[in-house]
């Protein structure tokens, strides 16, 4: 018999197993080599990939300064609320590939199966590898296939040895990325103020000329709104890796505390830096500059690099391109990790072959890693003359997958709370909570659903239908339905009613595995706030 708290009262239940079956495979097969600093920096590496550095020029040229800033700010709010939802659920149930396992536990095993394979498919799309190969073309004319091959080998090697090695690599790349972002923000202020070699003070010129909100499809207010709404898909792509923190919950020391803290701090850091970066680029280059939409896919089309060149600052564009290359590589690495852990998580519940449960002595899901690696050569598609188009196609597919994930994160959060209320638990029983967090699942889920359903709205405007755009925007919806119904009928799964969700095992595990309070930061350790 085991005693634990429920709704503020002590209750006694019969203990069936000495080891909680929900966490058994995760704790026995995976290592806990990661630290909190690794977890947070891995998320930063995943977010600040090619999106803000390269794709932001496309958003800016479409919407203008005001529209670009609002687009990044709106998605930042949605992402932040979504982070609250996933943090509260993952702190209660810190498992590998969190969202997939949460769906299986709180909603319906068929939904976990459907999203698991979609998440794996999205992680296997080598968009960042394609981007990295194109980025190298800034310096050399050597065929991109050679660089893709090198990147695939390096990506496999960095994931195959141990999570500690992977964590240290990503930590180093994240430091470079943060340094670049802060440097670009400072340089933008200097250029805007007239501190560049040409001493031209720009001020808020590009918020006035051209107009701060540019039209698309039609004129007037409707055209400005259409441009703003169309840009959101590209902006969603820029925030992609922010939800990757709970994926590695089983491989970090003190997972409940670490995941919750990482989600909270990553939200603020990523949101503030992304909005500042978006605001900075609206100050230093015109949205009408043709170079930011050249489609080169490397630093030549980065709005920051274009502005730096226009200001007459030498050498800096090469530094920007080099750090952007590490950004693309680390974001690709993040996808590999998500893909392998997703296969492992599904294998735990019998939704993928058991061979994907095999791990090395250092806790790496080797067979899952090999399968994800087999799909990396899809990046060779970008070697053709339409390299930028291939990258854009990957980007649109990824954006719709991300939105589906945000919707399901909200669904998990809502389902967890419905089960708690039905079974007599309160939010005070949760290991970690945000003030007002009980509404985060509803708000982020509904907004993400609207963004998904309207992401390809241009295809419904007369004369603007494009099969590639329509497919990449909406393919994830019928795919989810087909996978869900397949597993539903094949395994005859049932939607979990609130009273049927197994909460006792989760709350019992919280009390059986207490985590020590974090020591307050004092003295020189205050410096670790920069990365921890």
Give the pLDDT confidence of 466-475 residue by residue, as tens digits.
887 888 888 8
Buried b (16+ CB within 10 A) or exposed e, 157-176: ebbbebbbebbbbbbebbeb
Does residue 298 or residue 127 have the better pLDDT?
127
How far apart are the C-alpha atoms of 319 and 261, rounded to whole Å?
A: 32
> pLDDT tens, 36-94?
777 777 766 666 666 777 778 888 999 999 999 999 999 988 988 998 999 999 999 99
Does residue 517 or residue 75 have the better pLDDT?
75
448 contacts 407 by C-beta, under 8 angstroms: yes
Report the chain's mean pLDDT, rounded to a whole number. Answer: 84
In this predicted structure, what is the pLDDT of residue 505? 92
Does residue 447 or residue 396 have the better pLDDT?
447
67 contacts 261 by C-beta, under 8 angstroms: no
How far apart are the C-alpha atoms of 241 and 336, rounded to whole Å?
A: 12
In this predicted structure, what is the pLDDT of residue 15? 52
Picking from 29-43, 55-69, 250-264, 404-418, which range would have the lowest pLDDT averaged per residue? 29-43
Contacts with 74 (C-beta within 8 Å, 6 or more apart), sequence order: 232, 235
Picking from 365-379, 393-407, 413-427, which range would have the lowest pLDDT averaged per residue? 393-407
Buried b (16+ CB within 10 A) or exposed e, 472-486: bbbebeebbeebbee
Buried b (16+ CB within 10 A) or exposed e, 71-95: bbebbbebbbbbbbbbbbbbbbbbb
> pLDDT tens, 389-402?
555 565 566 678 88
Q: Which of 343, 325, 27, 31 is nearest to 165 (CA)?
A: 31
Q: Which CATH architecture has domain 33-495?
A: Up-down Bundle (1.20)
Contacts with 33 (C-beta within 8 Å, 6 or more apart), sequence order: 162, 163, 164, 167, 251, 362, 363
How far apart are the C-alpha atoms of 300 and 57, rounded to whole Å?
A: 11
Neighbours of 220 (CB within 10 A): 8
Domain ranges within the chain, ordered by starting residue: 33-495
Q: At 16, is the pLDDT very low, low, confident or very high (cuts 50, 70, 90)? A: very low
Q: Which residues pair with 252 in a beta bridge?
A: 34
Buried b (16+ CB within 10 A) or exposed e, 97-114: bbbbbbbbbbbbbbbbbb
């Amino acid at each position: 018999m085991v005693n634990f708290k429920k709704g503020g009262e002590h209750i006694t239940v019969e203990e069936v197993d000495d080891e909680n079956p929900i966490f058994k495979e995760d704790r026995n097969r995976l290592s806990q080599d990661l630290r909190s600093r690794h977890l947070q920096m891995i998320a930063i590496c995943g977010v600040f990939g090619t999106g803000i550095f390269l794709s932001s020029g496309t958003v800016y040229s479409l919407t203008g300064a005001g529209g670009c800033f609002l687009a990044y700010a709106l998605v930042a709010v949605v992402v932040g609320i979504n982070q609250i939802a996933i943090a509260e659920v993952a702190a209660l149930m810190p498992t590998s590939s969190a969202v997939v396992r949460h769906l299986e536990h709180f909603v319906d095993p068929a939904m976990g199966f459907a999203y698991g394979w979609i998440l794996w498919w999205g992680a296997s799309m080598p968009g960042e590898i394609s981007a990295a190969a194109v980025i190298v073309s800034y310096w050399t004319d050597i065929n991109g296939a050679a660089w893709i091959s090198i990147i695939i080998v390096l990506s496999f090697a960095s994931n195959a040895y141990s999570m500690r090695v992977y964590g240290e690599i990503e930590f180093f790349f994240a430091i470079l990325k943060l340094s670049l972002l802060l440097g670009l923000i400072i340089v933008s202020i200097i250029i805007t103020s007239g501190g560049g070699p040409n001493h031209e003070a720009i001020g808020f010129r590009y918020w006035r000329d051209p107009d701060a909100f540019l039209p698309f499809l039609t004129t007037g207010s409707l055209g400005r709104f259409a441009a703003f709404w169309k840009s959101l898909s590209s902006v969603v792509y820029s925030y992609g890796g922010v939800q990757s923190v709970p994926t590695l919950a089983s491989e970090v020391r003190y997972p409940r505390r670490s995941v919750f803290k990482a989600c909270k701090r990553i939200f603020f850091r990523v949101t503030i830096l992304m909005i500042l970066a978006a605001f900075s680029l609206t100050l230093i280059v015109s949205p009408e500059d043709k170079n930011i939409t050249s489609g080169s896919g490397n630093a030549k089309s980065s709005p920051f690099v274009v502005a730096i060149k226009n200001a007459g600052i030498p050498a800096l564009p090469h530094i920007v391109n080099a750090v952007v290359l590490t950004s693309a590589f680390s974001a690709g690495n993040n996808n590999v990790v998500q893909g392998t852990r997703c296969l492992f998580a599904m294998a735990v519940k019998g939704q993928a072959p058991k061979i994907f449960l095999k791990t090395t002595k250092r806790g790496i899901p080797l067979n899952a890693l090999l399968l994800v690696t087999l799909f990396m050569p899809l990046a060779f598609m970008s070697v053709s003359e339409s390299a930028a188009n291939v990258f854009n196609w990957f980007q649109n597919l990824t954006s719709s997958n991300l939105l589906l994930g945000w919707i399901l994160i909200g669904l998990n959060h809502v389902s967890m709370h419905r089960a708690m209320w039905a079974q007599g638990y309160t939010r005070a029983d949760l290991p970690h909570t945000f003030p007002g967090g009980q509404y985060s699942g509803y708000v982020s889920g509904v907004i993400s659903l609207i963004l998904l359903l309207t992401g390809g709205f241009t295809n419904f405007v007369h004369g603007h239908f494009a099969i590639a755009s329509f497919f990449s925007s909406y393919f994830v919806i019928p795919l989810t339905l087909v996978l869900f119904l397949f597993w539903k009928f094949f395994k005859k799964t049932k939607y979990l009613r609130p009273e049927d969700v197994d909460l006792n095992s989760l709350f019992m595990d919280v009390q059986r595995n207490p985590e020590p309070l974090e020591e307050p930061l004092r003295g020189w350790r205050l410096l670790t706030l920069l990365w921890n």
